[in-house]
């Protein structure tokens, strides 16, 4: 996995005439219909979803996570590198009563158990995504990104352009069904993201980007905002997408290869972060927005 450094904050160009930062450069902006006006992190969606943010990222902090779960981060700081994943899983198991759902209010009647998702957890949802990124579990993850970062999904089985349309209604229905009867799934994802960011920071001190790849068959399926020479395109990603750190692996998924310098702060989860989760395909789950990509073919 190739990581790159960026300019220190005090060296980032801020002149209005700088192309990436120009207020009149539409390519750098997140389209209005791809964002919410509010979110639950330290930067608004219009900023964190912009091309400027891709080039000059800063940490993304979710509201209340550090304050409510200080004990977890103290335990992680005291743990060895090889033990942190186990410390993290143990904390979530106990804190969210994952092995004791009845203690969290689960109705244990036979009928309720048939309808509910008592065993749904961050692990099962991530595995569900790995099988189908348009599944109910995937709708839950895309909904979490929408809630926390203010980036609306652009695709879930079908393009999602009209919030009043049938495809968007179907996505909302899948999202609500995926959350129903579970124990604070979105709060679990908050901690997964925070843990991922902690681990990336420890493994790649000083780095701000990683080069990732995505194989696609049809560029027409992507929202292309601008084209430049050398195969460079500015595109709008779905609010959560799968990438890989291996160009060879990306070739297995399409004839066109998208190469992207992804901010580490936009990686929600990656293979190897937790044993037994997303073990194949060198997969990375990347939070979306406007990005510049380099397009190449096999």
SS (H, E, C) 133-200: CCCHHHHHHHHHHHHHHCECCCECCCECCCCCCHHHHHHHHHHHHHHCCCCCHHHHHHHHHHHHHHHH
Convert the pLDDT of each residue in 32-54 to its tens digit.
Answer: 999 999 999 999 999 999 999 99
Percent of the chain with pLDDT over 90: 71
Convert the pLDDT of each residue in 259-295 to its tens digit.
Answer: 999 999 999 999 999 988 877 668 999 999 999 999 9
Is 236 strand, coil or helix? strand
More confident residue, 27 or 249: 249
Specify the pLDDT at position 9: 35
E strands present in the chain: 3-4, 209-216, 223-227, 232-244, 256-263, 267-270, 283-297
Percent of the chain with pLDDT over 70: 83
Mean pLDDT of 16-41: 71
**pLDDT for 133 beyond 80:** yes
Across 15-19, 116-120, 286-290, the highest mean pLDDT is recorded for: 286-290
**53 phi/psi in degrees, rounded to 5:** -65, -35
Which residue in 237, 240, 239, 279 sits closest to 258, CA to CA? 237
Specify the pLDDT at position 238: 97
Which residue in 186, 190, 171, 158 sits closest to 62, CA to CA? 190
Confidence of residue 197 (pLDDT cuts 50, 70, 90): very high
The Cα–Cα gap between 168 and 160 comes to 6
Beta bridge partners of 136: none
Confidence of residue 27 (pLDDT cuts 50, 70, 90): low
**pLDDT for 11 beyond 50:** no
Mean pLDDT of 236-244: 97
Convert the pLDDT of each residue in 58-115 to its tens digit.
Answer: 999 999 999 999 999 999 999 999 999 999 999 999 999 888 776 655 555 555 444 4
Specify the pLDDT at position 282: 86
Largest CA distance in the chain: 65
Specify the pLDDT at position 23: 42
Specify the pLDDT at position 183: 86
- Predicted TM-score (pTM) above 0.75: yes
Mean pLDDT of the chain: 87
Specify the pLDDT at position 19: 43
The Cα–Cα gap between 34 and 25 comes to 17
User: Are 142 and 239 contacting, i.e. CB atoms less than 8 angstroms apart?
Assistant: yes
Specify the pLDDT at position 103: 64
**pLDDT for 16 beyond 50:** no
**pLDDT for 17 beyond 50:** no
């Amino acid at each position: 996995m190739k990581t790159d450094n960026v300019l220190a904050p005090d060296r980032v160009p801020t002149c209005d005439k700088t192309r990436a930062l120009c207020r009149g450069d539409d390519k750098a902006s997140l389209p209005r219909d791809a964002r919410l006006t509010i979110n639950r992190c330290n930067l608004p969606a219009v900023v964190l979803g912009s091309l400027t943010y891709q080039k000059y990222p800063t940490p993304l902090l979710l509201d209340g996570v550090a304050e409510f779960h200080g004990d977890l981060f103290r335990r992680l700081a005291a743990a060895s590198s090889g033990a942190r994943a186990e410390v993290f899983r143990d904390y979530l198991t106990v804190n969210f009563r994952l092995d004791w759902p009845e203690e969290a209010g689960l109705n244990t009647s036979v009928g309720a158990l048939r309808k509910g998702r008592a065993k749904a957890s961050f692990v099962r949802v991530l595995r569900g995504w790995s099988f189908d990124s348009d599944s109910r579990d995937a709708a839950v993850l895309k909904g979490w990104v929408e809630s926390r970062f203010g980036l609306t999904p652009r695709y879930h089985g079908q393009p999602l352009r009209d919030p009043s349309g049938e495809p968007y209604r179907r996505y909302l229905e899948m999202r609500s069904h995926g959350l129903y009867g579970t124990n604070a799934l979105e709060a679990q994802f908050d901690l997964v993201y925070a843990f991922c960011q902690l681990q990336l920071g420890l493994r790649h001190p000083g780095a701000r980007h990683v080069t990732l790849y995505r194989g696609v068959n049809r560029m027409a399926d992507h929202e292309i905002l601008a084209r430049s020479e050398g195969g460079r395109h500015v595109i709008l990603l779905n609010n959560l997408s799968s990438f890989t750190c291996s160009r060879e692996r990306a070739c297995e998924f399409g004839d066109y290869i998208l190469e992207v310098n992804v901010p580490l702060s936009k990686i929600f989860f990656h293979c190897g972060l937790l044993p037994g989760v997303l073990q194949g395909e060198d997969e990375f789950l990347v939070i979306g927005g406007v990005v510049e990509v380099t397009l190449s073919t096999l």
